[in-house]
Chains A and B, each alone.
Chain A
Amino acid sequence: MTTVAAPPTTRTKAEGPPGQRYSWSARGFATPALILVGIVLYLPFVWTGYLSFTKYSGVGKASWVGIQNYRDMFSNPEFYNAMLNTLYWVVGTIALPVGLGLAIALLAHGIRGSFWYKLPFLLPYAISGVAVGVIWTFILQTDGALTEALEFFNLPGQDLRWLLDSPLNTWMMIIASTWQGAGVNALLFGIGLASIPIGPVEAARIDGASGWSMFRHIYWPMLRPLTTVVVGLAIVGSLKTFDVVWAMTKGGPGKQSETLALRMWKSTFQENQWGLGGAIAVFLTVITVLAAGLYLRRQLSESRSVV
């Protein structure tokens, strides 16, 4: 027995304390994953950052131009238009898909078979953004289903050009994406509601709370961790809005409904200005990280202080 136990002891002596040995082998195991992360995650980021300081058309060599692309970007009115549209998307996405999702979850909460009430809202989530765009284009185009319905019922709004006039077209596209996104938010909020312990709810009910006061003082504070996640995802998701807009207006008419992500794509692949596209990508990343980071930090620190 002792002879069997001896070798490990000597090896430990040779290679340092057990903690360090563990650490080395752990690093060995992590290396392939780290290399993969480096190649597919860090490298594209660094490369995009590099390109944003160059003039590059996709062929030939990239030539260093310093911060010229950033200057061009900030002096271009189309960039500010794309930024404004992106802001609409952020505000709209938090107000509509998130707000509506919460409303659906609350209304269905506690009802027998609530899953079946939430299911139809969830179904559009299975469709890709492009398909959503195509479906809503049928509805919103001139002489489309919406205009015809308004004409049939003799309601106002028959003359509106839903996808042609800005910023109406952006808001209509936000509604289209609400149709798709509200259900999954309802599902998430539903899970949050289900995990609220029955104790405080019962106590509040005995104290006479119901309806709005129940929501304001019990559900809303107790849903906070979930709201943080849902809103955080909504911010990030809306900042990179691309597919629905691409499918419905291609950013048009002209460039009126472009978002930052669309402007980035068009600059790079249609206008062959990879440097400018890179600059927009970097800018978009910075504001996404800032917005998401600040929001999460604030929310998480507040929830810690609540605890």
Chain B
Amino acid sequence: MVLTALLVPALLVATACSSSDSGSGTTTPATAAATTSAAMTQSSPAGSGSAGSESAGSESAGSGSAGSETAGSEPAGSGSATPIDCKVQASGALQFYTDKAAWQPDFEAMNEKSNADCGLSLNFTGYSDSAQYDAFIKQGFQTDQKPTLFTWHTGDQLKELVDQGYIAETTDLWKAAEANGDVPAGLIDNYTYNGKQYCVPLNVAYWVMYYNKKIFADNGLQPPKTWDEFTKIADTLVAKGITPLHQMNIIFEFVWYQALLMGSDPTAYEGLGTGKAKYTDPASVDAVKKWYDMESKKYFIDPGVQTDPQTLLKTGKVAMAYFGTFFTGQLTSVGMKSDQDYGVFVLPNVNPSVTKQQVALETGPLCVGAGSQDEQAAMAYSAWWMGQDAQQAWSDKRGDISFNPKVKAADPALSALLQDQGNWQIQKRWLEATPNPIYTVASPAFGEFVTNPTDDPMPMLTKIQDAADKYWAGQ
């Protein structure tokens, strides 16, 4: 009996420790880039230094105009804080939790500005292990100490908290931001549950293609405008003995499925996230066949290569890498210069008859706990956060793009890319668009496909669709 008592907690503790260990493990150079949230977490520090000087100028220049713009469009009747006046009394610094521990200096630098604008600041608590953090937040809501402000995930994970009534509604904030042009079209879909909005965007990343400029120049290649041009580039590179594309069999194993389906049949892609389309539908089957075709033409690097993607792109082991725009920070960290060493283009639609350029967007929310201490002040902070002024400062600090279309990206490659934004159709990234019970079946299945591609996609897609059928039947 004593043995039993000792062993079980030992197991639990051992696994808990291991998981926290693994958090620190993923921050080692070998695996850093290979981890979703870790990848995002790590993407920044290098970029922030150079942008610092610019931020000072734009902060002071921008504050007046942004304030007046917000004032004009704010709908009346919002009981909570409004974007105009973020001066709400708080009991002290707002308790703020995040799994992006590496962003601490950036958040603390923002405190100065939020203090000056609203008299509010954040008390930062960072986690570096995502699963541990998620469990912490979930447990927090079952106590009296509900998290005040915290970062989270969109998609099913946010729905889960919204369904429990844990999250404060931000519909008014979104109305104001949309009227004000502070958010791009389509972003709101990531924050809408049953017609109401929850949380505000913390960050966004568009999924685009990064390429090594030297390899392109040496081989006389130009960024492609059509899918045919893209495949020609890949064929040319294969013929020269250069691996065209990066891929992974964990974490980002799904991205090529996403890109190929979205670019050939956006409606089918959207349908997967709502249960209106099936993984076994012809459009989905064709996407996987195309994927297999690309695998068999040796377009992709072996997924067993676990070197960082930024290093692979820098050393020319791959010529292109399809990533979220957070990848810019990782490239900066290995000393690659934007628009000189690498460039960025949007992956052309597979099907030329799809008129709008399809671009996947991932976004991380900043949420306010319903019934938390300082809830009103946290709402005021959220409203302030969405504004051009705060976002310009944040973007400069992080050297990253902002969701706010009025904010200028300091990075030359990204700012050139974003000029085309008007022609984009924004899609949710597959990971966030997919309910968790389907994701947990599909993600390892895609991982196996990347590792050992097979020409018959049906067994894999049927397995995923079984999980989807089961999920949607329960809704």
Contacts and interface: CB of A to CB of B under 8 A. Distances in A.
Interface in A255-289: 255-256, 261, 264-266, 269-272, 281, 284-285, 288-289
Contact of A271 (B30, B163, B436, B445): B436
5 contacts: A130-B25, A131-B25, A240-B11, A269-B135, A271-B440
Interface string B442-453: 001101101110
B179 interface: no
Interface in B153-178: 160-161, 163-164, 166
B7 A246 contact: no
A62 to B, nearest CB: 11
A163 B305 CA distance: 10
Contacts of B163: 60
Interface in A233-247: 236, 240, 242-243, 246-247
B303 A270 contact: no
Nearest to A239: B11
A198 B307 CA distance: 54
Interface residues of A, number: 53
Contact of A44 (B8, B141, B249, B444): B8
A60 B10 CA distance: 27
Nearest to A269: B131
Given A130-B24, A137-B306, A289-B4, A270 B440 contact: yes
B-side binding surface: helix, strand, loop or mixed? helix
Nearest to A57: B160
Contact of B19 (A269, A271, A281): A269
Interface in A147-191: 161-164
Contacts of B18: 129-130, 242-243, 246
Given A130-B22, A289-B3, A59 B8 contact: no
Q: Enumerate the 10 nearest inter-chain pairs by beta-carbon distance, A residue then B residue, closest first.
A: A142-B304, A130-B25, A254-B448, A253-B451, A254-B444, A45-B8, A243-B18, A269-B131, A242-B18, A141-B306
A133 B306 CA distance: 13
Given A254-B447, A270-B440, A243 B21 contact: yes
A129 to B, nearest CB: 7
Contacts, number: 145
Interface residues of B, number: 51
A255 B135 CA distance: 23
B444 A255 contact: yes
Interface string A51-69: 0000001111000000000
B250 interface: yes
Contacts of A252: 249-250, 444, 447, 451
B134 interface: yes
A204 interface: no
B217 interface: no
A176 B163 CA distance: 44
B91 interface: no
Contacts of A164: 249, 303-304, 451-452
B21 A59 contact: no
B11 A288 contact: yes
Contact of A45 (B4, B19, B303): B4
B436 A41 contact: no
B14 interface: yes
A292 B3 contact: yes
Interface string B404-448: 000000000000000000000000000000001100100011011
A272 B306 CA distance: 28
A61 to B, nearest CB: 10
Interface of A: 37, 40-42, 44-45, 48, 57-60, 128-131, 133-134, 137-138, 141-143, 161-164, 236, 240, 242-243, 246-247, 250, 252-256, 261, 264-266, 269-272, 281, 284-285, 288-289, 292-293
A264 B135 CA distance: 15
A250 B163 CA distance: 31
A246 B19 contact: yes
Contacts of B3: 289, 292-293
B9 A137 contact: no
Contact of A134 (B31, B131, B440): B31
B135 A58 contact: yes
Contacts of B21: 128-130, 243
Contacts of A284: 11
B6 interface: yes
B62 to A, nearest CB: 39
Contacts of A265: 15, 19
A288 B14 CA distance: 14
A44 B4 CA distance: 12
A252 B34 CA distance: 14
Listed residue (A59, A162, A270, A293) with the most chain B CB atoms within 10 angstroms of its CB: A59
B7 A285 contact: yes
Contacts of B12: 44, 48, 281
B302 interface: yes
A224 to B, nearest CB: 21
Interface in B1-57: 3-12, 14-15, 18-19, 21-22, 24-25, 28, 30-31
B276 interface: no
Contacts of A253: 249-250, 303, 444, 447-448, 450-452
A246 B16 CA distance: 12
